[in-house]
Amino acid sequence: MQQPPQDVLAAFGAGRSPRLLDGGRGRTWRAGPIVLKPADLPVESRWRASVLEAVADTGRFRVARPVRAASGDWLHGGWEAWRHAEGRTDPKRWDDALDAGAAFHEALAGVARPAFLDDRDDWWSRADRVSWDLEAVEEHPTLEPLMRARRPVGAAAQAVHGDLLGNVLYAPGLPPAVIDWAPYWRPAGWAAAVAVVDALCWHGAGGSLLAGAERSDWPQMLLRALLFRMITDREAGRAGGGEWHPHPAYAPVAALVIAAAASGA
């Protein structure tokens, strides 16, 4: 748990006594009005900050505003920062998260695809590419039915948030705040599907949440979203040197998603 050093705190105008926040992979700190975390990929951090700086808050969502260091750069000493946004997460408010995500994605619709996505290489990026059949993966009996059910999709790709459900803050009297943006270049329906899959697997949502006929290629988005989550888990397990054993929560969701894909519903 690397704490931001004093020169980083000073560069971003933060308080002197940072405290570790929940979530954020155990690497996110708050110091006064400023939230800080190490930048995994500097080019991504700078791109994300430049986009968020220009996104206007609306009555449907707000964003945590990025903070420049004293140098004018978005990074200092390998750290990035943004203003603390009021509110708390609540992953059981999936309908509110989907609404906020839809508004956020509408605001991003004109953003150009960033080149760094071609070179990003981590568990999540590899799982994303595999789920979209852009990279090969070792076969596994749990994954094969989902892989076989995929069909081509026509929905247009854009910049989206790939981890929405747990990254929306709710505060009385304020629009939901979208935080910790994990950028991907996929259809907006895919980002919604990842949130739905997370709600179904981990937060007690019912099968009725699968309904999404108004979203383009919705059953195929669900297939790819579930594959994305499962393959990410597999990548993490393999990185630790262990054999992957799919979590039992995936099986009933996989059955629902495959059935939806088969019916085209």
Handedness of CA 259, 202, 234, 211 (dihedral sign): positive
DSSP string computed for 35-58: EEEE-SSHHHHHHHHHHHHHPPP-
The answer for residues whose C-beta is within 8 angstroms of residue 88's C-beta and 6 or more apart is 169, 170, 171
Residue 213 has what pLDDT? 60
Structure-block tokens of residue 109? 């619709």
Q: Rg of the chain's alpha carbons, rounded to an integer?
A: 19
φ/ψ (deg, to 5) at 52: -65, -30
Percent of the chain scoring above 90 in pLDDT:
85
Statement: residue 237 has pLDDT above 90:
no
Asked if 228 contacts 134 with a C-beta cutoff of 8 angstroms, the reply is no
Q: Provide the pLDDT confidence category of residue 43 given band limits of 50, 70 and 90.
A: very high
pTM for the whole structure: 0.95
What φ, ψ does residue 183 adopt, rounded to 5°? -80, 135
Scan for tokens 């400023």, then name that residue. Answer: 34
Q: What is the pLDDT of residue 265?
A: 54
Kindly report the average pLDDT of the chain as a whole number.
94
| pLDDT exceeds cutoff 90 at 50 | yes
pLDDT score, position 2 = 87
When pLDDT is averaged across residues 23-45 and rounded to a whole number, the result is: 93
Would you say 38 and 78 are in contact if contact means Cβ atoms under 8 Å apart?
A: yes
- Which residue, 107, 109, 61, is CA-closest to 85? 61
Residue 211 has what pLDDT? 86
Asked if the model's pLDDT at residue 71 lies above 90, the reply is: yes
pLDDT higher than 90, residue 242: no
Question: Interhelix angle for 218-239 vs 123-131, to 10°?
Answer: 140
| pLDDT, mean of residues 20-45 | 92
Residue 90 has pLDDT above 70, yes or no: yes
pLDDT of residue 1 exceeding 80, the answer is no
| pLDDT at 125 exceeding the cut of 70 | yes
- Reported as a pLDDT band with limits 50, 70 and 90, residue 155 is very high
Which structure tokens are listed for 139?
Answer: 């076969």
Which pair of structure tokens corresponds to residue 48? Answer: 């994300």
List pLDDT tens digits, range 187-221.
999 999 999 999 999 999 999 999 876 778 999 99
Instruction: Give the full edge-to-edge strand order of the sheet including 34-38.
Output: 19-20, 29-31, 34-38, 79-83, 75-76
Q: What is the pLDDT at residue 240? A: 78
* Residue 241 pLDDT greater than 90, yes or no: no
What is the pLDDT at residue 38?
96
Beta strands in the chain (DSSP E): 19-20, 29-31, 34-38, 62-63, 75-76, 79-83, 88-89, 158-161, 168-170, 177-178, 183-186
